Structure 1
Amino acid sequence: MPRTPGLRRDAQANVEKLHAAALAVFSRKGLSAPLDDIAREAGVSIGTLYNRMGSREALIDAVVPAVAGEKLKALTEQTLSRTSPRARLETFISEMIDLQLSDPALNDAMLRLFPDATALINACDRSTALGKELVDEAHAAGVLSRDFTADDLMAVLWMAGTASKDPAAPEGWRRVVDRSIASAWIA
């Protein structure tokens, strides 16, 4: 992490500890994790966290977009490496749901739980745009029902993200999501 001009060495060390702790805690618990947990893991007071970071959204934007961006870039590359419009859209959906399941912070980002974390939202918007392009491409190829729109894709991903966060979600939620996608294919 580059040194922030004007910060004392100990203050810079606290910022670095807060960034590392935030990444670890957000990865385990999601973006709604208590800030006290982050401060405790960093070995600083909650006052230091607020003094150095300002807000939850500022902390999120300081640490999560780069990691989310790397994961979403890998998802994009994997998706675009497929040879057909159907395979690209299927890969995008499957990989996005797997990311939502495995990364609570990225799931929270995709669910737009912290809309004021603008850097993170911008990273997620690029994936949303890719999803729309893939739906349009599948429509143009004649393999996806015109009734299935980009909004439907985002609704399916939202349902998957919401269900994956909720321990009380019915066990069959993934099967329902998979069936809704399967029913949209024409060929």
Structure 2
Amino acid sequence: MRADAEPRADAEPRAEARLRADARRNSEQIRSAAIGAFQGRGLTVPLEEVAKAAGVSKATIFNRFGGRIGLIEAVIEEVVAAELFAVIDRARTIGDSGERIAYYLTALRDLQYRQPAVNDVLLQTYPDSRQLMEICRVGSDANEEIIATARTCGVLRPEFTADDLHALVIDTALALKHGELPPRDAYDRRTTYLLDGIRASASGRP
């Protein structure tokens, strides 16, 4: 090609297309790395580690997602919302109130044990994330609904409230986030103790 030759007319669009493809690839790599990191270690994983796993710089995360909050909102559906909402939906299909509360509490504690990011959501670690706070609202509404129904049906101690359940869930979140992870069998045994303690029969009521 002569030095004075004009560039091909399609050279610039092709370059822009390559840049867009690179940007999409980087974004998907970051999302995949964030999902793996957040599911395994919670939403507070250093962004440097997410960037390293994605094969990009930390600056690229800010360029693509605007920072941690944007990245959380890009993946929170896969990391937390899908499983948590599935638990809520499944609980609502269980006709027996006693079985419903047992399933709901057991499944929720299972999520807290398996998915550290769930505890970050429950603790509202990033209140600037509208999606995170919306997940909290949905969860709170579910707690109110399930506890109210169970109390009406007489399967819970009458003094046990949705606020009590919330406090127990938060206590568990704090213990799992800041303490040593207990063996799974011990954790599940304590779930059984918790259920026994809140059931109406535990206090001698029918």
Give the alignment's TM-score, normalised by structure 2.
Answer: 0.79
Report the Cα offset of residue 145 of structure 1.
2.1
Deviates more, 1:53-62 or 1:169-178: 169-178
* Partner residue in 1 for 2:30: 18
Within 5 Å, give how 1:1-187 maps onto structure 2.
Answer: 8-168=20-180, 178-186=192-200, 187=206
Count of matched residue positions in the alignment of Structure 1 and Structure 2: 181
| SS of residue in 1 equivalent to 2:157 | coil
Q: Which runs of 5+ in 2 are unaligned?
A: 1-18, 201-205
Judge conservation of contact 1:93–1:157 (CA < 8 Å) in 2: no
Q: 1-side partners of 2:78 and 2:181: how far apart?
A: 30
| SS of residue in 1 equivalent to 2:198 | coil
| SS of residue in 2 equivalent to 1:8 | helix
Q: Quick one: percent identity of the two aligned structures?
A: 33
Shift of the 170–62 alpha-carbon distance from structure 1 to 2, 3 Å rule, reads closer
Q: 2-side partners of 1:92 and 1:116: how far apart?
A: 28
Report the Cα offset of residue 180 of structure 1.
4.2
Write out per-residue CA displacement over residues 52-89 of structure 1, whole angstroms, 9 at most, x where no aligned residue: 11121111011112442221232123312323112111
> Counterpart of 2:58 in structure 1: which amino acid?
I
Two-structure CA RMSD over aligned residues (Å): 2.1
Larger Rg: 2
